[in-house]
Amino acid sequence: MYSRAYKAIVSLPPLVWVGLFLLLPYALMFTHSFWAVRDGFLVHQWNLQNYRKLFENPVYAAVLLRTMRIAASVTLCSLLLGYPLAYYLSFYAAARKELLYQLVIVPLWVSYLVRGYAWKTILGSDGVLNGFLQYVHITREPVGFLLYSPFAVVLMLTHIYTPFVFLPIYASLEHIPRPLVEASQDLGASPRVTFFRVILPLSLPGLLAGATFAFLLSLGDFLAPMLVGGPSSTMIANIVQSLFGSAYDWPLGAAISACILMITISLLFLTERLEKHWSFK
Amino acid sequence: MTAVNATRRAPLLTVYSVLVFAFIYLPIIVLVVYSFNRDGVGGFPPKHLTLDWYRQLFADGPIWNSVLNSLMVAGGAVALSLALGLLAALALDRATFPGKALFRRLVLLPLILPGIITGLSLLMFAVFSGMQLSLLTVFLGHGTALISVATTELFAGLQKMDRAQEEASLDLGATPWQTFWRVTLPHLKLSLIAAGLLIFTLSMDEIAVTFFLTGRDNTLPLEIWGRLRRGITPEINAVSTLIFGVSVALIVIWYRIRTRGLGTATQELLEEP
């Protein structure tokens, strides 16, 4: 029913724009990763040196491993907080459901920076938590290890991604047909068995979507380590950032970015496959 | 038979949920409370409530300058990404062209990719094409990255629309242009407003992409970021509290709009299956 002209008019501008301002920039990232820096200048000389450096220098692998560990911890913690909350809302909250749902959404809209800053003021050695601990006489000296540690990074990112993880899990729990749950109970299954054999398997697609989201976004974070992490929790994106800043080695930074990009895309591909496999029809 | 939807009791789960809510809200509450604390951030309990920090904030030129910059960028980003997102949603919904699947993935990529990747790619593009870094590059970056949000939201709106109305309009002699303005667009009004609010908030808060694309002028998050590196004062709590207030106000508006528009995604989520 739509004419060729209509289709052309709606398709062309976004195609051209996205091609120019998204595809070309991402492609430039890849081409830079095959170039080099000589005497402080970028030279367009095709080579694989940057990737070789990544594999040969163990520092990069170590930081990538630490980044993965932090991202995995954030994912696990967000799931441990988000899943029970979603389960409670979906199955037990009854009349308060809508209000509680909106209460989970609100922090999603609150600035990332503001929430990171809040943790900084809480965890610092003269921060709110230390003030509280001394006030109730649990400790006498300020506890110094809270801020500027991988722990603080995991805590801050968990705080940010718990609502993100909650959303898809809640959606998938809400889509479970209640007669299935009732049937399981009627047939004599205990609540425990019903949860593990009926509810959990049916909510796996939502769980997977939330976990992927938390993992990928934590993986590329460079602000949390700068804000609350300190040197012991430098993540891979911090290295990229310094290579594009003070260290001035764009090609090497681009090579690391290209690796992050590849990890992201292959993980997305994998979860898409798994989700199709698990989704219930 | 146990009625599943009747209120059942699960005391442990209830306590756990309350604790999760506490974890989510505690930092925000602390932030707000200490913006009124005379003796600065930290120490317990807070005492000597004061509005001094807000007074100081309102007299702070650079902050308000950055707010103005952020508002300009966000306003521009909303316009740009809504316009292109609308066309992209129409194209995905109605047109067939080679590379359509790739196009869909590409548009959504900034939503799932770490901001640093998109930010740096755009930085390389700006340098490559000889653009000076300024608020203009920040605006182009935000506008382009957020096409993803506009497209998702508007595509969902289009999917729910009844094509028969457009057909009727065309059959009754309206031009495609008239049909677009008088049938298609009014149908998308709610999606447009919701997407616009979301894009506005995301742009006002954006830091990872902005970090690499900004020139001498700061947006509000970058201004706060710069001050954080120098040390913390309750003035930052005060400005954060105001940002929080504005965000909550926007959510309330957003929900009002959503609840009035029937059949939206959120509503469906809340309905019993």
- % chain A with pLDDT above 70: 99
Q: How far is B112 from chain A (nearest CA, A)?
A: 7
The pLDDT > 70 percentage for chain B reads: 90
- More confident call, B21 vs A113: B21
Do A89 and B28 touch, CB atoms closer than 8 A? no
pLDDT, residue B253, reads 80
CB contact under 8 A, B124 and A14: no
Interface of A with B in 192-211 (CB under 8 A): none
pTM of the shown model: 0.87
pLDDT band per the 50, 70, 90 thresholds, residue B6: very low
Instruction: Give me the mean pLDDT over the B250-260 stretch.
Output: 73
Predicted complex ipTM = 0.88
Contact B108, A213 (CB under 8 A): no
Q: Mutating which of B16, B18, B19, B20 best tests the A interface, going by the most A Cβ atoms within 10 A?
A: B20
**Residue B210, C-beta contacts closer than 8 angstroms, at least 6 positions apart:** B119, B138, B141, B142, B219, B221, B222
Per DSSP, the residues of chain B read ---TTS----HHHHHHHHHHHHHHHHHHHHHHHHTTBTT-S--SS--SB-SHHHHHHHT-HHHHHHHHHHHHHHHHHHHHHHHHHHHHHHHHHH---TTHHHHHHHHHHHHHS-HHHHHHHHHHHHHHTTPPPSHHHHHHHHHHHTHHHHHHHHHHHHHTS-HHHHHHHHHTT--HHHHIIIIIHHHTHHHHHHHHHHHHHHHHH--HHHHHH--SSPPHHHHHHHHHHH---HHHHHHHHHHHHHHHHHHHHHHHHHHHSTT-HHHHHHS--
Instruction: Please tell me the distance in Å from B207's CA to the nearest CA on chain A.
Output: 8
Q: What is the mean pLDDT of chain B?
A: 85
d(CA B184, CA B177): 10
Mean per-residue pLDDT, B251-270: 57
Higher pLDDT, B14 or B254: B14
Residues of B in contact with A115 (CB under 8 A): 27-28
Structure confidence at residue B2 as a pLDDT band (50, 70, 90): very low
B166 with A1: Cβ contact below 8 A: yes
The DSSP secondary-structure symbol of A143 reads: P
A49 interfacial to chain B (CB closer than 8 Å): no
- What band does A126 get if pLDDT is binned at 50, 70 and 90? confident
Kindly state the DSSP code that residue A157 receives in the 8-state scheme. H
* Cβ pair A89, A100 in contact under 8 A: yes
Mean pLDDT (whole number) for B221-240: 86
Please name the residues between 56 and 115 in chain A that touch chain B, using a CB distance below 8 Å: 81-82, 84-85, 87-89, 91-92, 94-95, 97-98, 101-107, 109-115
Neighbours of A277 (CB within 10 A): 9
Tell me which of A126 and B24 has the higher pLDDT.
B24
Taking 60 as the threshold, does the pLDDT of residue B270 lie above it? no
| DSSP letter assigned to residue A277 | H
B40 torsion bin: left (phi>0), alpha (psi -120 to 50), beta (else) = left
Look at B87 and A11 and tell me if their CB atoms are within 8 Å.
yes
Is residue B188 within 8 Å of residue B28, measured between CB atoms?
no
Note the pLDDT of residue A74: 97
pLDDT tens by residue, B135-157: 999 999 999 999 999 999 999 99
Does residue A153 contact residue B261 with C-beta atoms inside 8 Å?
Answer: no
Query: Which residues does residue A43 pair with via DSSP β-bridges, in sequence order?
Result: A36
Q: pLDDT tens digit string along A9-51?
A: 889 999 999 999 999 999 999 999 998 888 778 888 888 888 9
CB burial of B64-103 (b: ≥16 within 10 Å; e: otherwise) equals eebbebbeebbebbbebbbbbbbbbbbbbbbbeeeeeeeb
Chain A residues in contact with B116 by the CB 8 A cut-off are: 220, 222, 237, 240-241, 257
Q: Which residues pair with A37 in a beta bridge?
A: A42
Neighbouring-strand partners of residue A38:
A41
Angstrom distance (rounded) from CA A113 to CA A94:
34
pLDDT band of B8, cuts 50, 70, 90: low
Q: Residue A77: which of A174, A150, A175 has the closest Cα? A: A150
Mean pLDDT of A50-76: 93
Residues of chain A contacting B26 with CB distance shorter than 8 Å: 122
Is B124's CB within 8 Å of A114's CB? no
Looking at residue B257, its pLDDT comes to 73
Query: Who has greater pLDDT, A175 or B39?
Result: A175
Give the A window 230-249 contacts with B, CB below 8 Å: 237, 240-241, 244
Using pLDDT thresholds of 50, 70 and 90, give the confidence band for residue A280: low
* CB-nearest partner of B87 from A10, A29, A250: A10
Chains A, B: CB contacts under 8 A, how many?
Answer: 266
CB contact A131 to B (< 8 Å): yes
What residues are paired with A42 via a beta bridge?
Answer: A37
Write out B24-86 in H/E/C secondary structure.
HHHHHHHHHHHCCECCCCCCCCCCCECCHHHHHHHCCHHHHHHHHHHHHHHHHHHHHHHHHHH
Enumerate the H helices of A175-245 as residue ranges. Answer: 178-186, 191-194, 200-202, 204-219, 223-224, 236-244
pLDDT of A47 reads: 87
Residues in chain A: 281
pLDDT of residue A65: 93
With CA atoms as reference, the chain B residue closest to A134 would be: B44
**CB pair distance less than 8 Å for B113 and A261:** yes
How does residue B260 score in pLDDT terms, banded at 50, 70 and 90?
Answer: low
Hey, are the CB atoms on A22 and B25 less than 8 Å from each other? no
- Cβ distance A222 to B116 less than 8 Å, yes or no, reads yes
Query: Is the C-alpha dihedral spanning A128, A129, A131, A135 positive or negative?
Result: positive
**Token reading at A116:** 């990171």
Whole-angstrom CA distances from A9 to B156, B177, B221 are 20, 11, 37
Chain B interface mutation, best of A3, A16, A20, A28, highest count of B Cβ atoms under 10 Å: A28
Contact B31 A118 (CB under 8 A): yes
pLDDT higher than 50, residue B210? yes
Does an H or E element contain A38, and which?
A: strand A36-38
Residue B199 is predicted with a pLDDT of 92
User: How close does chain B come to A32, measured CA to CA in Å?
Assistant: 9
pLDDT computed for residue B266 by the predictor: 40
